């Protein structure tokens, strides 16, 4: 079946503009994660959605970052007033409900964001 998809694959924007990044998780996966991968860095957790529970936003680096998940499926990560340090690859992952164990997280190909 289809894996996790993300769009756009590449996004170039000017400093100060807002951007929206989209993630379509695997059908049936109730958990959804956003990570950020900066050049030469590992993956940095941003936000986690699990079903209808309140999201874990503890990884968001500033209030310019927000995310929502509509209908328990598609998620959008929004970055307002982008800064050059926001340039990175933004990865989305999904997994089955993980209340009692760690289920495998399936990653999308990512969105490469470049802020000029």
Among 1, 52, 71, 102, binds another protein (CB under 8 A): 102
Among 108, 111, 113, 115, binds another protein (CB under 8 A): 108
Least separation in angstroms between CB 63 and another protein: 20
| 38-97 positions binding another protein, by CB under 8 A | 40-45, 48, 50, 56, 58-59, 91, 93, 95
Tokens (6 digits) for 58: 């503890």
Instruction: State which residue, 10 or 15, has the beta carbon closest to another protein.
Output: 10
Element (H, E) at 88: strand 88-95
Least separation in angstroms between CB 103 and another protein: 8
Distance of CA 71 to the CA centre of its chain: 16
Query: Which of 24, 16, 2, 14 has the alpha carbon at shortest distance from 111?
Result: 24
Which three-class secondary structure string do you get for 13-58? ECCCCCEEEEEECCCCCCEEEEEEECCCCCEEEEEEEECCCCCECC
Positions in the binding site for another protein (CB under 8 A): 3-4, 31, 33, 35, 40-45, 48, 50, 56, 58-59, 91, 93, 95, 98, 101-102, 104-110
């Amino acid at each position: 079946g289809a894996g996790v998809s993300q769009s756009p694959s590449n996004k170039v924007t000017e400093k100060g503009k807002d951007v929206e990044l989209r993630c379509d998780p695997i059908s049936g996966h109730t958990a959804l994660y956003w990570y950020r991968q900066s050049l030469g860095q590992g993956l940095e957790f941003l936000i986690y959605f699990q079903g209808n529970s309140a999201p874990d936003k503890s990884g968001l680096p500033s209030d310019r970052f927000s995310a929502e998940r509509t209908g328990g499926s598609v998620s959008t990560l929004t970055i307002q007033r982008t800064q050059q340090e926001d340039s990175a690859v933004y990865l989305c992952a999904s997994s089955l409900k993980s209340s009692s164990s760690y289920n495998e997280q399936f990653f999308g190909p990512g969105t490469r964001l470049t802020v000029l």
